[in-house]
A and B are shown apart, each in its own frame.
Chain A
Amino acid sequence: MKRTNEKYAEQFPTFQILNEEGEVVNEEKMPKLSDDELKDLMTRMVYTRILDQRSIALNRQGRLGFYAPTAGQEASQLGSHFALEKDDYLLPGYRDVPQLIWHGLPLYKAFLWSRGHFVGGQMPEGVHAMVPQIIIGAQYVQTAGVALGMKKRGEKRVAVTYTGDGGTSQGDFYEGMNFAGAFDAPAIFIAQNNRFAISTPVEKQTKAETLAQKAVAAGIEGIQVDGMDVLAVYVATKEARERAINGEGPTLIETLTYRYGPHTMAGDDPTRYRTKDLDSEWEQKDPLVRFRKFLEDKGVWSEEEENEVIERAKEEIKAAIKEADGIPKQKVTELIGNMYETLPQNLQEQMEEYKAKESK
């Protein structure tokens, strides 16, 4: 009997285009992006880093609620999103608010979602996306359904979802990929491996050497990507999208990444489970640093441009928080009204009760 658990690591080598110094190490795979597109990508990453810094600060001031930090994952989150089209359907996890924002969710609504207001879950017309998913893995099985729907409609669109390394241990993670595979549905499954699920290191999730190889169990394409390299993530997603819309089925993309901050702002302290050495090792891999270097070497990015983005981000965040502040408080009658198309007896009765209460 041949042992099979060793050869997978060779089958799933890490795909990289830019190294830590911003040098192109895989010329053949360089995407054909214009200078403007490259700058747009950098703009989004810088903006999102600022958004993370401001969100943490606003959370500490009590002006935001639930918040899952994103710093470090910009290449993974935004490089993959950059490869999508406006019509593609996004099923984010709770840390994937940046993708939603760049997909069209207004910033003030993202803040309302953080605070816990139903207006934050109201996607504008034409923004094809689900509210961030709290139940880890649920977005994966739903993605199979969204993708099958697109296939049945004969549309050239894809469904894209994200989970973390811990999420790959869930049953729904496997079922979602397996369903999409069995139906040859146009889905892209992204597993953002930031090495920790709260305090649990990825080694405690599985003995598998890569998460990408979990695609084998579903019989679908799998690829491991340097998740700190925005060009590699972009290319991997773009290629997965091409395969999907050409009827070649789904892909699992593992992005090797890191979160510089805590798991969430609800009291998690990463110094309890991560070493300074590990933090500094990953800080050297910062996706912004290497992409900035790459763009500066090309002569298409400058400090002034970056500062403009930072200032614009700060202004827009300020304006969005103000807009969120201006949204009226939620009423129980509104919550009741959002339950069903037609209110059943019990809720009709409770509606009257709360109308009376609210009119006092």
Chain B
Amino acid sequence: MAQMTMIQAITDALRVELKNDENVLLFGEDVGKNGGVFRATEGLQDEFGEDRVFDTPLAESGIGGLAIGLATQGFRPVPEIQFFGFVFEVMDSISGQMARMRYRSGNTVNMPITLRSPFGGGVHTPEMHADSLEGLMAQQPGLKVVIPSNPYDAKGLLISAIRDNDPVIYLEHMKLYRSFRDEVPEEEYTVELGKANVKREGTDVTLIAYGAMVQASMKAAEELEKNGVSAEVLDLRTIAPLDVETIVESVKKTGRAVVVQEAQRVAGIASQIVAEIQERAILHLEAPVLRVTAPDTVFSFPQAEEAWLPNHQDIVNKVNEAINY
């Protein structure tokens, strides 16, 4: 075991997979010699060569097409989009192309692509860097969308994502990159895609979260505990497809649920979760399923992030609303 930040765990997973499978290729803007704008690919080009880890021209759509073409030739591409706000440039390659390839070819061509990209607020980035756009990806059949919240999951989920034979969008929250360390095994291991994790057991309310909102939910749960409210915290880890079984099982036990996301209310995946719960567990509910989200504006200007982003206090308040319903 070693103490690693999330970014170190990501680099470690990439190293494991580059070593493990000669078809794994890492490419994107400044991921080679520079080691990535966040050092996620630091040292990997030196270790594995320019043939395996390389820079591309500055064009996200081209990067998407490159990944698709390389996949047809038996490679296992792990492209990077520098910030997920730039996904709009490559929406066709992702949603219009790679997500559909297995289906449109009648299950004869598959796309074992893992697209890595940072996102998330709280670090005062310029425009279009921090936006939570996972909801767009979650609406595209053919994709899987993974969002780790800690170093251990980050490594295990990334190894699983790379080994998956269908396209995976792997979103890395910038605020979580170096905010804390965790015990991470040095050897390879996997965390199953499509499975949520019960981070904290509780009996009064289920908090369903992902990304940076997992930490906020854990903090809220601690505070609620002081007031005698026992919150169960689920870290979704994969937001598409959803682990509905684990969600519903928890809600049936607690009878109350709050879904927490950093994305705006009309975005993200909270509404989908609420819909699944009301279809499958309405008779177990003591209160409506409530949502903690950002407001429905464009992502905050950096100086207003603190007021705009949802935080643990918003979660505590929303839980109290559900408890006192």
Contacts and interface: CB of A to CB of B under 8 A. Distances in A.
Interface of A: 89, 118-123, 130-131, 135, 138, 140-150, 152-153, 159, 171-172, 175-176, 178-179, 182, 335, 337-341, 344-347
Interface stretch (B7-15, B72-80, B146-154, B254-262): B72-80
Given A135-B97, A138-B93, A138-B97, A148 B66 contact: yes
Contacts of B104: 118, 121, 131
Contacts of A339: 102-103, 141-142
A123 B104 CA distance: 11
A344 B241 contact: yes
B92 A135 contact: yes
B75 A152 contact: yes
Contacts of A171: 61
A179 B65 contact: yes
Interface string B147-170: 000000000000000001110000
B144 A337 contact: no
Nearest to A340: B166
B57 interface: yes
Interface string B94-121: 0011000011111111100000000000
Interface of B: 25, 51, 56-57, 59, 61-62, 64-75, 92-93, 96-97, 102-110, 141-142, 144, 164-166, 194, 241-245
Contacts of A335: 103
Contacts of B69: 141-149, 159
Q: Which of B57, B59, B73, B74 has the most CB atoms of chain A within a 10 A radius of its CB? A: B73
A122 B66 contact: no
A142 B142 contact: no
A345 B67 contact: no
A146 B73 contact: yes
Q: Give the secondary structure class of A's interface.
A: helix
Contacts of B72: 89, 130, 142, 145-146, 149
B51 A347 contact: no
B66 A144 contact: yes
Contacts of A340: 102, 142, 166
A172 B68 CA distance: 13
B62 A176 contact: yes
B96 A150 contact: no
Contacts of B144: 344
Contact of B97 (A119, A142, A150, A338): A142
A141 B74 CA distance: 17
Contacts of A338: 102-103, 106-107
A145 B57 contact: no
A121 B105 contact: yes
Contacts of B64: 141
Contacts of B241: 344-347
